[in-house]
Amino acid sequence: MNELLTQLVDLQAIDLEIDQIDNAIKAEQSGLDERISALAEREALINSLKEQVTNQQKETRTLEDEMADKMDHVRERQSKMMQVQTGREQTALLKEIEDAKRAAKENEDKIVSLMETIETLSNQMEEEKNLLKGEKELVAEETEKVRSNIEGINKGKKQKDNFRNGQAKQLKQSLLKKYDTLRQRRNGLAVVNVLDGVCQGCFMSIPPQKYNMLLKGDQLFDCPTCQRLMYHLAPVEEEA
Ligand SMILES: [Zn+2]
């Protein structure tokens, strides 16, 4: 095989190993990130419940004050009943008293319903707080586990990185750039084998003439379909 191609294939082999390490680290981290964001969501839910309870409590106090005013009004009107002279005045006062009582009763009903809601919300909030506490403990354990897993995965990565950089330095800048760009755009594979005239990167056939030239192994070719650099390496069973 062309010397340059051998270098590229070797470089890609080490890059794929490094990719695997990076992906394994990402997978570890993303599982943990999901759990951490679930914690944040639960915290937000608890805060919203707390706010609802505070608002409803405020509303309850307003209604209680209103109800007290209405009852004061009822008492004041009732004491006035003694001084009333005519039947008509009496009827008017009685109606006023009845209306105030009814209004006070309406307030009371609203207060009862609000207090039920507050109780439901408070119970839910307590439940969520307990869940959050448990989850926080689990996430703390998980964080420690992930940290140690990543440490394990990372072992040997630095050595691979150094080796990779050494390999890369041996290549011409323009070729290395092309290789890096291809890897970015083509899912990590910049250099691919061609088997029976088929590119093993995109699985499209390459023109027979190009294939024949490729078989000689002394030139660099791009796949006409996916533009990856191509080489030919016969499968082991064919060589045997
Ligand atoms: Zn291709």
Determine the average pLDDT of the residues in 7-23: 94
Quote the ligand 1 centre to 184 CA distance (angstroms). Answer: 15
Quote the ligand 1 centre to 233 CA distance (angstroms). Answer: 15
Per-residue model confidence as pLDDT tens digits over 157-197: 999 999 999 999 999 999 999 999 999 999 999 999 999 99
Quote the ligand 1 centre to 157 CA distance (angstroms). Answer: 30
pTM exceeding 0.75: no
Quote the ligand 1 centre to 191 CA distance (angstroms). Answer: 9
3-158: CATH topology? Helix Hairpins (1.10.287)
Quote the ligand 1 centre to 21 CA distance (angstroms). Answer: 26
Quote the ligand 1 centre to 199 CA distance (angstroms). Answer: 5
Report the C-alpha gap between 107 and 113 in whole angstroms: 10
Per-residue model confidence as pLDDT tens digits over 187-235: 999 999 999 999 999 999 999 999 999 988 778 899 999 999 999 987 7
Quote the ligand 1 centre to 172 CA distance (angstroms). Answer: 23
Domain boundaries, the chain: 3-158, 172-239
